[in-house]
Amino acid sequence: MAQQIDKDMLIGELINVDINIVPILMGAGMHCIGCPSSQMESLDEACMVHGIETETMVNAINEYLAAKEQ
């Protein structure tokens, strides 16, 4: 079963799950991934700041993780 992420995970935790989540976040407009403060921000908080629908981002990342396991 593929690992899944949720909206309450910190950006730093997401990157630790899979470094290839970074291009997904950056593709959605989150270009400050390297900023130290972003590492302590939840995915939900980051989406809110960037005007991105959190559920859409969670689904995109989980779809990537599921596809990677196949």
Right CATH for 11-69 from 1.10.3470, 1.10.3910, 1.10.10, 3.40.50: 1.10.3910
Q: Would you state the pLDDT for residue 46? A: 92
Q: Could you report the per-residue pLDDT of 24-51, keeping only the tens digit for each?
A: 999 999 887 877 877 789 999 999 999 9
Higher-scoring residue by pLDDT: 36, 65: 65
Q: Which amino acid is at 26?
A: M
| Inter-residue contact 5 to 16 (CB < 8 Å) | no
The ranges assigned to domains in the chain are 11-69
Output DSSP code: residue 42. B
pTM of the model: 0.90
Q: Would you state the pLDDT for residue 1? A: 64
What's the token pair of residue 62? 């989980």
| Inter-residue contact 28 to 50 (CB < 8 Å) | yes
Q: Rounded to an integer, what distance in angstroms lies between the CA atom of residue 1 and that of residue 60? A: 17
